[in-house]
């Protein structure tokens, strides 16, 4: 088995324009490392649902950041990961770093596939992204001042995506982490109602939390323009993993990066200052 990355490595970042992917790409480029961004609009184009696009994207690359959209836990994704891993190994890839999710049986199956591939593998197993409130499906709810989810009192150690990306880059470039499962969380577990309170404080206007049924949640997301299949998949994930199994906090960020993980309050303050939840009027001017 290869013992780690080398100075001649070329990095392929799948989902390279996505929430974690673009952060990983930026960090690798800041180190002066050669990076190829894999996306449907990339050159060459890359599509998880078209295996014919994989070989061209993989050609000449030796290290891959494996981020499958929309989620590893969804039915059938393990088949995609199995086939991609096979093609990657045949293409000469020597190291795979998989972005995974906590408490998901489907994700664990994908982790097993990567770890059994015969090449260097690292799993970055993440808790719930804080940036779901500002860069993904909950943005519209926060802007409306009402976070409505099919959860009640469950707590989650929300993790900042900048921490996830920092850990992922270490996993991609540091041979000492080979074979590890790096379970990354924020520093404390809070409920979704508390998250809404912290968002309110950071934004300067009320953000309420409400528990709703899965059907109501799906209807709300589809009303925001989220495809029904994606909305139903998210509702399934809420029911599957947000039951308290993921409340435990880890010290992985501090172990790997030598610093404490960012808090949810810090995330909310930074996102608000960057204008993540700035309201605009119909003419596009900032609404005071």
* pLDDT beyond 70 at 1: no
> pLDDT band at residue 87, thresholds of 50, 70 and 90?
very high
What is the DSSP annotation of the chain? ---S--TT--EEEETTTSTTHHHHHHHHHHTT--EEEE-TTSSS--BTTBGGGHHHHHTT--EEEE--SS-TTSTTHHHHHHHHHHHHHHTT--EEEEEEETT-HHHHHHHHHHHTSSSEEEEEEE--BGGGGTTSTTHHHHHHTEEEES--S-EE--B-HHHHHHHHHHHHH-GGGTT-EEEE--SS-EEHHHHHHHHHHHHTS--EEEE--HHHHHHHHHHTT--HHHHHHHHHHHHHH-SSTT-----HHHHHHSSPPPPHHHHHHHHHHTTTT--B-TTSPBP-
Q: How confident is the model at residue 75 (pLDDT cuts 50, 70, 90)?
A: confident
Two structure tokens written together for 16: 């390279």
Alpha-carbon gap, residue 114 to 96, rounded angstroms = 7
Residues 6+ apart with CB under 8 A from 37: 13, 16, 17, 21, 25
Tens of pLDDT, residues 150-209: 999 999 999 999 999 999 999 999 999 999 999 999 999 999 999 999 999 999 999 999
pLDDT in tens, 28-43: 999 999 999 999 998 8
> Which band of pLDDT confidence, cut at 50, 70 and 90, is reported for residue 260?
very high
Confidence tier at 279 by pLDDT (50, 70, 90): confident
Q: How far apart are CA 26 and CA 5, in angstroms?
A: 18
Distance of alpha carbon 285 from its chain centroid, rounded? 31
Is 0.85 topped by the overall pTM? yes
Please say whether the beta carbons of 65 and 88 come within 8 A. no
């Amino acid at each position: 088995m290869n013992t780690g990355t080398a100075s001649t490595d070329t990095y392929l970042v799948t989902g390279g324009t996505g929430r974690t992917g673009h952060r990983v790409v930026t960090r690798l480029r800041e180190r002066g490392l050669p990076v190829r961004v894999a996306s449907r609009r990339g050159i060459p184009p890359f599509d998880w649902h078209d295996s014919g696009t994989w070989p061209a994207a993989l050609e000449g690359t030796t290290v891959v950041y494996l981020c499958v959209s929309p989620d590893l836990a969804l039915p059938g994704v393990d088949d995609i990961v199995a086939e991609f891993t096979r093609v990657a190994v045949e293409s000469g890839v020597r190291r795979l770093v998989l972005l995974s999710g906590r408490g998901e049986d489907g994700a664990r199956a994908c982790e097993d596939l990567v770890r059994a591939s015969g090449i260097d593998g690292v799993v970055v197993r993440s808790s719930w992204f804080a940036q779901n409130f500002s860069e993904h499906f909950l943005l519209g709810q926060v802007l409306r001042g009402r976070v409505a989810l099919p959860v009640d009192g469950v707590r989650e150690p929300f993790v900042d995506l900048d921490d996830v990306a920092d850990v992922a880059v270490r996993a991609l470039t540091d041979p000492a982490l080979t074979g590890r499962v790096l379970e990354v969380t924020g520093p404390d577990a809070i409920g979704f109602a508390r998250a809404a309170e912290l968002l309110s404080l950071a934004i300067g206007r009320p953000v309420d939390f409400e528990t709703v049924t899965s059907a109501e949640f799906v209807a709300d997301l589809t009303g925001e323009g989220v495809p029904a299949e994606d909305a139903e998949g998210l509702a399934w994930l809420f029911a599957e993993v947000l039951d308290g199994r993921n409340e435990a906090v880890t010290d992985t960020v501090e172990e790997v990066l030598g610093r404490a993980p960012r808090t949810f309050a810090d995330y909310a303050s930074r996102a608000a200052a960057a204008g993540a939840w700035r309201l605009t009027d119909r003419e596009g001017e900032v609404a005071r």
